[in-house]
Amino acid sequence: MLLGGFRLAMLIALAAIVLAVLAGLVVALMRLSPWAPLRWIAFVYTQLFRGIALYVLIIWVYFGLAVAAGVNVAPIPAGILTLALLNSGYLSETFRAGILAVDRGQREAATALGLTPVQSFRSVIAPQAMRVVLPATGNQLVDAIKDSAILSVIGVPELLHETQRLAQFYFRPFEFYTIAGGMYLVAVFVVSFLFRILERRLAHESPVRMPRGRLFGWRGVFPGTPTPGDIEPTR
């Protein structure tokens, strides 16, 4: 039962991040658009979802808005959508910084070669920006895994929800919560490790030398620890 909850937590986090990457990309492009109103909308979107707490949003959407509008939202889709919205706010800033990190000459060269703006973004800018944003995207997935625990409050049967149920049933709270904490820790560890491997793969193919983090050891594997590959969203 714990493993079932664990699997659901991973699936929810993954689905949320996939959606957040798509939305974040759109918002990042809007923020870089030459048309001012689009930029403002994107700016407000980013600031709003980076400022709001997941618990506040999920409670409001699930217990407030849904009741008032008389719609029944299933807990899992509601949870995925909320997680995706919040993460897209952070990812849009990451993507914007990544796109801006690609040398201007690259775009100019692409234009000079006769590529349309869409072509130049897809085949020149995006592949280079991807390497830059990869570590931060990995950290975002780690955050989504940790945040998915909050979805237990709307009854999503994920890891924490199952833990609470079992802890009450057997009256062994310390053991169950410790195991749950350990499972989150392992998930975080593994995801960070996989992203670090992916980062190395891409760095190999890159014509540009990318800084390399440590593959093994606490320092390189865990999220949030500043490593040479991480980027700070520039403003």
Partner 1 sequence: MTPAYHFDWGVVFANIGGLAKGLEITLEVALVGMAVALLLGLPVAIARLGRFRLLSWLANVYTQVLRGVPLFVFLFWVYYGIAALLSIALKPFTAATLALGLTGSAYMAEVYRGGLQAIDPGQREAALAMGLNRAQAFRSVILPQAARIILPPTVNVFVGLLKGATFVSVIGVADMFYLAQIVSLRTFTPFELYSVAGLVLVAVTTAVAGFVFVLERRLSRGRVAI
Residues that bind partner 1 (CB under 8 A): 47-48, 50-57, 59-60, 63-65, 67-70, 72, 146-147, 149-150, 152-153, 160, 163-164, 167, 171-174, 177-178, 180-181, 184-185, 188-189, 218-219, 222-226, 235
* C-beta closer to partner 1: residue 16 or 124: 16
* C-beta closer to partner 1: residue 201 or 219: 219
Which residues, including other chains, have CB under 8 Å from residue 70's CB and lie 6 or more apart? none
The minimum distance between CB 178 and partner 1, in angstroms, equals 6
The minimum distance between CB 88 and partner 1, in angstroms, equals 16
* C-beta closer to partner 1: residue 95 or 184: 184
The minimum distance between CB 130 and partner 1, in angstroms, equals 26
Q: How far apart are CA 132 and CA 15, in angstroms?
A: 22
The minimum distance between CB 24 and partner 1, in angstroms, equals 18
By C-alpha distance, which of 136, 141, 146 is closest to 98? Answer: 136
* C-beta closer to partner 1: residue 53 or 74: 53
The single residue listed with the structure tokens 């280079």 is: 128
Which residues, including other chains, have CB under 8 Å from residue 66's CB and lie 6 or more apart? 72, 73, 78
Give the HSE-up count for residue 228: Cα atoms under 13 Å, Cβ half-sphere.
10
Which residues, including other chains, have CB under 8 Å from residue 146's CB and lie 6 or more apart? 184, 188
